[in-house]
Amino acid sequence: MSELGYISSHRYGKDLVRVARVVRDGDKHSVIEYTIRALLDGDIATSYTKADNSVVVPTDTIKNTVNVFAKTSAHVLDPPAFALHLGLHFVTRYAHISKAYIDLAVHKWSRIEVDGQPHKHAFVRDGDDKGVVQLAVDGSNKDALSVDLKVGVKDLLVLKTGGSAFEGFWTDELTTLVPVKDRLFSTSVEYMYTVPLPPNAPVTIDAIPAIAAELNFADIAAKVRRDTLEVFATDESASVQATMYNTAQKVLVSVPAIKEISYSYPNKHYIPINLAPFKLENNLGYDGGAEVFHPVADPSGLIQATITRK
């Protein structure tokens, strides 16, 4: 029987690999916890079309690689550098593997403060926000590897109770929303920024320390988080879109290494409750100032944008 279709793309690997590492430096410990997806691509089409398993690096081997590197990699505490180490390993270790896709989620552990000082080996998960890394390594040319690296945060829940308006929007026969001068603004912030690798550094495993030192991924992450939260707090928001744009512009000023940044702000709606039947005023009018709200999970607005450096 003739085949009606052909395989136009493929990749495979291991998803939801959970691993935690404790790095012990005397009585001071550092801890990091990851959920990792590692996918491979290359000369593997026959595993689909000819049932040829000889080209398949087992997904169990991929999982084992993650666990071994959690122990042996000098970069395990630096998520972008750790992702880079994993990705470069897969495309250089296996001749027939030309691409690797590494996605990391970093689960939060912060040092507990005792008497105003960070404890040496006690930690608290003080938020649901997670660091994220998305890495694609292209080893189609084994002598000139290329990397696309995106770093960011997801599930960063924020709320402001003033300094946010929404008016002057398009209206037609289906519009029921009324303008408001002051409202609650809450969202679960997600952002991803693209960081090109230094052009002077070779894309090799041996060059990862120099790449990490030049870019200083932790410093970049701290500045983007700082700017995102500061603009959210201080911007007199005319709309979610305007605040998002203002945030991205500040980030591009603060971090010259960033090529572009994408934001996603799903609205977390808080609906003022009508307390008039109980002879209570809850400021439901244009001027805002309500005090009692009903948090609504859905439906929610979703605002997204990518701002690219000129």
Q: Report the distance separating Cα 138 and Cα 100, nearest Å.
A: 7
Give the Cβ contact number of residue 129 at 10 Å: 19
From 35, 46, 59, 161, the catalytic residue: 59
Residue 247 annotated to the active site:
no
Alpha helices in the chain (DSSP H): 45-49, 59-72, 79-93, 208-215, 217-234, 240-254
Three-state DSSP class for residue 195: coil
Residue 59 annotated to the active site:
yes
From 14, 63, 89, 250, the catalytic residue: 14
Q: Report the distance separating Cα 272 and Cα 202, nearest Å.
A: 57
The full DSSP string for 59-79 is HHHHHHHHHHHHHH-TTTTSH
Task: Tell me if 266 sits within 8 A of 296, measured CB to CB.
Answer: no
List the structure tokens of 228: 């995102």
From 85, 89, 268, 269, the catalytic residue: 269
Nearest to 192 by CA among 59, 52, 35, 304: 304
Three-state DSSP class for residue 205: coil
Q: Report the distance separating Cα 267 and Cα 302, nearest Å.
A: 6
Residue 96 annotated to the active site:
no
Nearest to 12 by CA among 49, 37, 46, 32: 37
In degrees, to the nearest 5, what angle opens at C-alpha 160 toward C-alphas 132 and 154? 10
* Active site residue ranges: 14, 59, 269
